[in-house]
Structure formats: structure tokens, C-alpha cells
Amino acid sequence: MLRANAITKRFGRTLALDAVDFEALPGEIHALVGENGAGKTTLMNVLAGSLAADRGETILDGRPLRAGSPRAALAAGIAAVHQSPMLFERMTWEENLALGGFDTGAGALDLDAIAMRARSLAAKLGFEMPPAGATVENRSVAERVRLEVLRALSFNPRVLILDEPTSVLAPSELAAFLDLLRNLRGEGRIVVLITHKLAEAIAVADRITVLRRGRVVARTTPAETSEEKLAGLMIGEIVAQPAASATPPHSGDPVLQIEDLTLDDHTGRRILDRLSFRVAAGEIVGIAGVDGNGQTELVELLAGARRPSGGKITVLDGSSDGAMAVIPQNRDLDGLILDMRLWENLILARPLRERVTSHGWLDTARAIDLCRELIDRFRIHVPGPETIAGALSGGNRQRLEVARAIASRPRVIVAHNICRGLDLAATAEVHRTILDFSAGSGAVILISSDLDELLAICGRLLIISRGKIRETNRGERDPERLGLLMAGARD
Amino acid sequence: MLSSIAKPFAALALAAALISIVLAALGASPVGVFAALGEGAFGNWYACVDTIVKSTPLVFTGLAVSLAFSGALWNIGADGQLTIGAIAAGAIGPHLGNFPHAIAIAIILAAGALGGAVWGGVAGWLRARRDVNEVISTIMLNFVAVQALSWVVHGPLMEPSRAYPTSSPIARAAQLEFYFAPSRINLGMILAVALAAACYLLLFRTGAGFELRAMGRNRRAATFFAIRIPALTLWVMALSGALAGLGGAVQISAISHRLYEKLSPGWGFEAIAVALVARLNPLGIIPAAILFGALDNGSQAMQRTQGVSPELVQVIQGLVILIILAFDTPAWSGLRENIFGAPHDAAAAAPLAEMPDA
């Protein structure tokens, strides 16, 4: 039995955990739910030993764990999968797994044996590993997370703690993943699942603990609760806010035209295959797809970070410079510079940088003012413009990115998985902002692997699969059929 | 918490303590040695001037390194760039006799900057267009530059009597004068200080400087926001090279007046330590360079009066650098990312916990 007694942890003036008791039994999936900032990740870090609590202790099977030592926690049988992948980008996936428990020791590093064990475990869990010798930097987010789960499982742990693992999985991968969790439970392990996807918690968990602002506000079971009740407990009051209603298919003037857009990687493999579509003013076009089907590359092309091998991206009416604002999917890697200040992150966007630069000189006072204005307007909870971006929570980082995109006054916003890892309130807020933008006749391309999100706010839906894009029938709303299309089925 | 100003002093104190132990073990008197060091570096007007003269090339190369490092471009080639700048200055210098003083000075300095810019620009071009790691290319170009210097002073630029492997002296008009004769204080240090201020403004007060710093902190994010990385890489490496080359030209114009082999005692390498101690801040380069210049200068007095070997001075310098760096890790974070790939540790640097949204 895993037990945490009266864990208290303070960061500066912030009380992250306030005398939290937590308990999980062998053969149990225990869901830990709460909003961003509720303290879920902090609790996980304490349990997994990567953070020492100010007070309280962690006990596994009657033995107290040494606080603040991930090594001791691992030795005792507690393995954790972190929210943002902690992988070595420029090493192969086999080398990354070599740091796990697949290696039999014996001194020599046998990557083939590691790959074999990994592949067989992956097959049991229902997914494939990347080609032999592939480096991590080119893999999709979903593949990275699977790699992490595999690495944690390689230690054959008694306790597996997963921090938001499903937020990056495609719908088609979700069922298999939940089955995997059930299998682990069947083997008598303790599974702690941190999530804010309430449906999932109810579907798979035996017990649910709800955290709010560093305190346990409820301990319940799926039988005695519901999504609505859990949402109410998490947020503290019942906020009846359906994200938004879907925008009607809009027939404004076309703003963006993409013709035969093609991209081959340096080995000549075709990543994007003659994409053609248009986006009109005031329209929100969704692009649905399982991660790793060319979405990241499409965003890179639209951002101008990469040159296409063929085809054209044209912003109709007006110059193309600054007409497009991109919100990349990986906030921490692509969208922000975490060790720079907020105002500096803001002027990463060229239109904003130009607004505070004259004759090459940067007017820092104006940049700071602009930042303060946006902090107020978009209700970003931070001390001020001089705060380092890395000190922000996930929700506030996303608010900053959305604020930056809107403030750039683009014709088109391209947003990739913008609500991944955000809680209900933050998601609704981001959606509302995007809808407001489109209502002001801005065009939006929303790329996501979350069908529910796309169905909620998109007027038109495209499917991307193996680098090809196809229109769906207007009014096609059946998630099952769409899911099949995403998986690459032909009509 | 130690402030950023107190830290280097604490580091120096710790270095002094460690060195005292070494000295005592060798049977020398720590107090005597340190007194000689201080006396030699700052003991009188001439010592102070000499310290400044010795620091001057380090300011130029230190600025060159800090500018490139700010963009996560690891220019290890300031020494080669300085050398090529010196060759350009030494080659054109003897032919400037008919020009007015100011024009001749402008030409010889411009020649040095241009030479260095070309040398740095080659590495920048290789990185931007051919994706050749600049660490490797700049190190290789250092070797080429040193051999080029050796060749010109034995060959095309050898002085007419052909007795010594040096070039002809530069024209009187192209020599930076000692305005405070008989001391050797010259315009070089004043130029260096002005350039440090200019580099600071460039980095922290211009759009281009911002783009450079953004590229240095997170290359991926910079590409996503359409910062033109290849062009920026080329220009920054050329500018970095120009600063180092200017340092070479100043050395020729003010101090040595002619080319000879082994012109640089390693100013381009010492510059890396200078830049890191200054945390890549151009304004910090000046005190950092003077610190190293003072150690150099004071060491000669140590040898004279205390019989301490010159090697021990290098040991002291090494210890000082190591301890300062140990006290001050931020300058390395970018380097770490460059070696290990995308900045996952940036996430680790942030508080592990989520901060409350409300």
C-alpha cells in the first residue's frame, strides 16, 4: 500500500500542497484529478522522490521512503512518467531506453537486446516502436510519451504514477492504453493516474481523489460520482459552460489559399503530399488527425520555419508578412523561451517586435507596457512583465501564447493542439478567445488530435492522414466515422 | 543569496585561499606572493598602465566571444580572427606613410576588422549554409591563421634585410600614439570601452540583438517566429570576427608595430574565460579583462621578487576561472542545451510544481 501522510509543500509564498493525505492500494487504479495548479504534479513529484516535502512522509508497504531521492523511490518500486517528456533528444530511442530497466546490466550495453525487449513489451501494449536507430528529436509527441511509459515499465515497478499521459494519445490509442492500465492493475500493481479528463477517470479508475488548491476536497469512486460532480468539485463552483457552439460554416472571402503543398524530408520520404485547401475570413477550419501524420510539419511550413518542397501558401489580399500567427503545439519547446522574460517572449512575434522597434532600436519601455496591457486583457496570472516565462503554469503559458497571437493582429491564426494539458476553465477560455477572433472575421486553422474539441468549435473539418488531407462532408459529426477516417480509412 | 557583484569577489577569496595552500606547500610565502602580485599589477602608475595595455586585446576578443556566445554560436576562433586582422593591418601599415594620421589610423583599423570579419564570416557561412559545426571550423581556422602568419613573416611580408622573421614596421602615421607619454596608454583601450558600450546596446536595445539572444536561448522557437537564422549566423560570426580582428590591428598599430610569429599569446582563448566570467555581458567584459590582464602583469613581479615560477601563475589563473564558473552557472545553460539538444532542462529550471493559475 502506498500512503502519503500530511504532505505539505511550499514554493515561496505559494502553498502548493497543504497537509495532503493520499492512499492507493495494490490492484487499484487511483485517479488523481484537479485543475491546473491544484498540486497534482507536485504531489507526484513528492511521491516519486524528485521533490522533498516540507512536512509529511511517504510510506510504501509500511516502510517510509527517503524524501527527495528519485533513486530511492525507484529502488522501492515507484516509477513515474512525467508530463513533459524527459528524453535525450539527440539519442536514439534504444539509447533512451538503455537508461531504463531493460538493460540486464553485465557491463556491456546491448542495444539490440533492449530493442527486442521494448518491442515485445510494446506489442503486448498494442503499439509499435519507431524504426531501429531513429533519434528522438524527429518523433511525434505521442511517440515520446509512449517511450516514457515504456521506460517506466521497464523497471517492473510496484507503483506506476502517470502525469496526464492520455492528453497526448490519439483516440484510437486511448482504449488500448486504458486496457494496459487495467492489465497493470490485474498484476497487482498500484497505478496512480493524474488527469483532468474526467470521463477517463470515471471509465478506468477504482477510486478518485480530487485536489483543489493544494487540498484534498473529495475522495470518491466512479459509482458514486459523475463528470458534472467531479467538475464541480475541481473548480469549486458549478460553471455550466459548454466550451462554445460550433461556428456556422462561413462564407466570407477566402483569406488563405494552400495549393499542392508538398514536403519531403532529407531522406526523400514524403511527409506532406499535395495539400490544397482554402480558409475564408471568419471561418474556423479544423484539421483532425492522429499525431505524427504531418501536422507538425504543416505548422512549420505555415510559420515559415521550413521551406516546402513544392506548392504554395498564399495569403490573399494584402502582404503575407505578419499575416499569419502561429501557436505551436509544444509550448515549452517551440512557443516560448522559458528563461526569458514575459515581455521578451511577447516580442518574439515579428509584428509585435516591429511595433516596439523604430529604426532598429528596441523600445523596452513600450514592450513592457504592451505586455502589461495584454496581461490585464487576457487575465494572465503573473506578478508582471518582468517575470521569467518558465515560472508560469501551463494554463498561463498558453494564455500568453494566445494573447501574443491575437495581439499580432493577424489575418490567420494557426493553432496546434492548443488546449492540450489545459483544464476545463482554461480550455473554455482559450476557445472563447479563438471564437471572438473569428467573429471579428479572422480565419483560424485549428489542428488537433482531440475530436471533441474540433467538433465543438470548428465550422469545417478536414482530416489529415499520412500526409494527405481530405475534406469531410459538411455536417459530418459522427466521431466514430471521423475516427476511422483519421486512422486512414477510405470513405 | 549572493548578489551578482558579490559572487566574483567571493570566488576570488576562495581562489586565494586555495592558492595559499598550494604556495605554502611549495614553501613560498602566500602573503609575499600576493603582495608582489598586487604590487606588480597595480602598485604604481606604470604598473596600472601596463595592466591596462595587457587587458586591451582581451577586451576585443572577449567582446567577440560574448557576442557570438549570446547567439549560442560557439566561436572558439577569436585567436585566428585576431591573427588575420593583425596580418591585414601589418600588410597595409607600411604603405600608409603619405596619409594624414587620422586617415591612416582609420585605414589600418578597418583593414584589421575586415580581415577578422572574413575569417569569422567563413565559419559563419559554413554553419549557415553547410551546417558545419562552428566549434570545429573555428578551431581549424585558428591553425590556418597561425600558419598563415608564420608564412607571411618568412615570405611575402618579410622585412627587406631578410635577417629576421618579421615584417617591415608600419608607417609612423598609422601608429596609435601614446597620448600620455611616457606611459603606453593609447587610443586602443578607449576604443575598446566604446565598443563594449556599443555591443551592450546592440544586444539589449536593438531588434537585431533581441533576435540574436532569442536564437541563443531557444533556436527552435526562433525558427518558429521566422527569425532568419542563417543570415543572423553569418552576420554575427562576421561581426564577432571583426571585433577580434580589430583587436589584432590595435595591437599592431599601438604596441608591436610589426608582425612576428606567435603574435598572440592566446588572447582568443583567454577571451572565452573572460566572456564567461562576465556572464557574456559586454559591460562586464571590461572588468573581467582587466582582472586577467592584472594577473598576467602581476605575475612578472611575482617571478622577479618571489621566485615563483611562471607556470604557477597559470595555475592561479586556471583556479580563478574554475572557481568563478563554479559560483556562476547561468552562463553555461545555453552551452548545455547546445550539446544535449532541445532545452528540456529549461523546464527543469522552472519550479517543478505547477504554480497556481489564480
Residues 221-250 of chain B with CB under 8 A from chain A are: 221-226
pTM for this model (two decimals): 0.74
User: What is the percentage of chain A residues whose pLDDT exceeds 90?
Assistant: 24
The pLDDT assigned to A239 comes to 41
Strands (E), chain B: none
Residues 202-221 of chain B with CB under 8 A from chain A are: 204-210, 213-214, 217-218, 220-221
Please name the residues in contact with A119: beta carbons below 8 A apart, sequence gap of 6 or more: A129
Task: Determine the average pLDDT of the residues in A244-269.
Answer: 76
Q: Under an 8 A CB cutoff, do A304 and B210 touch?
A: no
Residues of chain B with Cβ-Cβ distance to A349 below 8 Å are 225
The pLDDT assigned to A120 comes to 86
pLDDT tier at A317, thresholds 50, 70, 90:
low
Q: How far apart, in whole angstroms, are the C-alpha atoms of residue B128 and residue B123? A: 9
Q: Under an 8 A CB cutoff, do A37 and B218 touch?
A: no
Q: How far apart, in whole angstroms, are the C-alpha atoms of residue A478 and residue B345? A: 42
- Judged against a pLDDT cut of 70, whether residue A13 lies above it is answered with no
Specify the DSSP element, H or E, that contains B220: helix B219-224
Q: How far apart, in whole angstroms, are the C-alpha atoms of residue A419 and residue A329? A: 9
Mutation for B interface: A82, A306, A324, A362, most B CBs within 10 A: A362
For the domain spanning B6-340, the CATH number is 1.10.3470
Task: Determine the average pLDDT of the residues in A343-355.
Answer: 92
The pLDDT assigned to B30 comes to 83
Task: Determine the average pLDDT of the residues in A83-104.
Answer: 79
pLDDT tier at A488, thresholds 50, 70, 90:
low
pLDDT tier at A178, thresholds 50, 70, 90:
confident
Mutation for A interface: B130, B200, B219, B224, most A CBs within 10 A: B224
Of A11 and A21, the structure prediction assigns the larger pLDDT to A21
Task: Determine the average pLDDT of the residues in B335-339.
Answer: 40
The pLDDT assigned to B298 comes to 84
Bridge-based pairing state of the strands A412-416 and A443-448 = parallel
Domain A254-486: homologous superfamily in CATH: P-loop containing nucleotide triphosphate hydrolases (3.40.50.300)
Please name the residues in contact with B315: beta carbons below 8 A apart, sequence gap of 6 or more: B19, B22
- Judged against a pLDDT cut of 70, whether residue A318 lies above it is answered with no
- Lay out the sheet containing A207-212: strands in order across: A78-81, A159-163, A190-195, A28-33, A207-212, A215-220
For residue A303, the distance in angstroms to the closest alpha carbon of chain B comes to: 6
The partner residue sitting opposite B354, judged by closest CB among A42, A303, A337, is A42
Distances (CA, A) of B219 to A266, A294, A417, B342: 20, 21, 21, 8
Select from B86, B88, B87 the least CA-distant residue to B61: B86
Report the range out of A35-39, A48-52, B149-153 with the highest average pLDDT: B149-153
The partner residue sitting opposite A333, judged by closest CB among B206, B342, B355, is B342
- Judged against a pLDDT cut of 50, whether residue B351 lies above it is answered with no
Q: How far apart, in whole angstroms, are the C-alpha atoms of residue A334 and residue A89? A: 14
Mutation for B interface: A339, A357, A359, most B CBs within 10 A: A339
The ipTM is 0.79
Coil, strand or helix at A475? coil
The partner residue sitting opposite A305, judged by closest CB among B206, B226, B349, is B226
Omega before B182 cis (within 30°)?
A: yes
- Judged against a pLDDT cut of 60, whether residue B358 lies above it is answered with no
Sequence ranges of the domains in chain B: 6-340
Sequence ranges of the domains in chain A: 2-235, 254-486
Inform me whether the C-beta atom of residue B27 falls under 8 Å from chain A C-beta atoms: no
Q: Are A52 and B303 contacting, i.e. CB atoms less than 8 angstroms apart?
A: no
Of A474 and A472, the structure prediction assigns the larger pLDDT to A472
Q: Report the mean per-residue pLDDT for chain B.
A: 84
Residues of chain A with Cβ-Cβ distance to B218 below 8 Å are 333, 336-338
The pLDDT assigned to B347 comes to 34
Distances (CA, A) of A379 to A59, A252, A331, A373: 40, 31, 18, 10
Q: How far apart, in whole angstroms, are the C-alpha atoms of residue A116 and residue A428? A: 44
Residues 328-347 of chain B with CB under 8 A from chain A are: 333, 340-344, 346-347
pLDDT tier at A143, thresholds 50, 70, 90:
confident
Bridge partner residues of B88 (DSSP): none
Report the range out of A76-90, A402-416, A450-464 with the highest average pLDDT: A402-416
Q: What is the 3-state secondary structure (H, E, C) of B191-217?
A: HHHHHHHHHHHHHHHEHHHHHHHHHHH
For the domain spanning A2-235, the CATH number is 3.40.50.300
Residues 389-418 of chain A with CB under 8 A from chain B are: 390-396
The pLDDT assigned to B349 comes to 34
Specify the DSSP element, H or E, that contains B33: helix B30-42
Sign of CA dihedral A364, A365, A369, A372: positive
Q: Are A83 and A163 contacting, i.e. CB atoms less than 8 angstroms apart?
A: yes
Among chain A residues, CA nearest to B204: A362
Query: Residue A448 carries which side chain, given as an amino acid letter?
Result: S
Specify the DSSP element, H or E, that contains A256: strand A254-264
Domains A2-235 and A254-486 share a fold: yes
